[in-house]
Amino acid sequence: MRYVAKYGLFWFKSGIWLSNQNNPYLATYLIQNSIWWIEFADLDGIRMDTQPYPYKDFMSNWAKRVLEEYPDFTLLGETWLQKPAFTAYFSGNSPISGNYNSHLSSVTDFPLYYATRDAFNQNDGWTTGLYSIYYVLAQDFLYGNAYNNVIFLDNHDLDRYFTSVGEDINKFKMGLAFLLTSRGIPMLYYGTEILTTGNEHKGHGHIRTDFPGGWKEDKANAFTEEGRTKEQNEIYNYIKKIADWRKTNKAITEGKLLHFVPENNVYVFFRYTKNEAVMVLLNNHNTKKRTVDCKRFNEILKDYSTGKDIISGEIYNLDKIEISKKSALIIELKK
């Protein structure tokens, strides 16, 4: 895949626009420049930096013109907004955008980021903890296609996720399990696989530190098993196992999402197609394991007899499932 990592159509300073995309000559130049880069570099997609900031009608026309030239091209808009409705407005073909259409292929799902950043650090309340994730996903109908949203735990502008969860391995795994099984297109920021830490407020150099290895001066080489610590290898292998598995599971890569209101500190959701299904359980309690009565999920479980934990290989009968404190289970269902 050949992607432009970042593309911008304006500069701004002290709230003053320094690029007037309403000028037809400038607008034509910017559109033609984008098309030239796509053709010259044989690109597959563009991540449009701060997409909602420029004039929205120009941005809509820019995306429309690019897709007219390259119908299968991907346009990802960085829509750094806190609420689903605000973010969904800028998604392509959104039902809430009225006569406006951004024509974007995908948007960055910051509302889901904020929910996953906070959920495992909080006790479950009416709108906190696991409920914060539930309520964000419950608003997916606002998007043109929420399954095209790019979802993430952190990125180059944010606190590292391991730092966000207080360097707690169990919380970290819960976030990873959710990210790699939820709806949307998961994005992993480099260094996540080796528990990289960092606070954004200390400067972007702090969250964009070099990945260890690759240079003879480096004291450790995290590209190798020997160059990683025991905890780093635990997370590296955890991510690898889920990532390798999801490549072959159509319920995850192509399926719909069905979720249930969290109950007794446990959030349960399913990814499913006509012939396959995956059950994901998240127990957010700090000290207690939970036993989940599966009768509540008969709507989907009636078609399956057993399930297999993709991490441990343990086989579950779909009657009652026990889940440890602060943990996730990813269960591939079997007929």
Amino acid letter, 284: N
Place of tokens 């180059």: 156
* Dist. CA 262–CA 292, nearest whole Å: 11
- Is 78 marked active-site? yes
Q: How far is CA 322 from the centre of its chain?
A: 27
Amino acid letter, 325: K
Active-site choice (39, 42, 49, 167) = 49
Count of alpha carbons within 13 angstroms of residue 114, beta-carbon side:
14
Give the list of residues 6+ apart from residue 93 with CB closer than 8 angstroms, or none: 101, 144, 145
Number of C-beta neighbours around residue 327 at 10 A: 18
* Dist. CA 148–CA 50, nearest whole Å: 18
* Dist. CA 254–CA 127, nearest whole Å: 29
Give the list of residues 6+ apart from residue 129 with CB closer than 8 angstroms, or none: 119, 120, 122, 123, 262, 265, 284
Active-site choice (39, 68, 78, 293) = 78
Phi and psi for 185 in degrees, rounded to 5?
-105, 110
- Is 140 marked active-site? no
* Dist. CA 311–CA 9, nearest whole Å: 44
Q: Report whether 172 contacts 135 (CB < 8 A).
A: no
Nearest to 79 by CA among 44, 115, 54, 100: 54
Q: Report whether 165 contacts 171 (CB < 8 A).
A: yes
* Dist. CA 58–CA 132, nearest whole Å: 34
Active site members: 49, 78
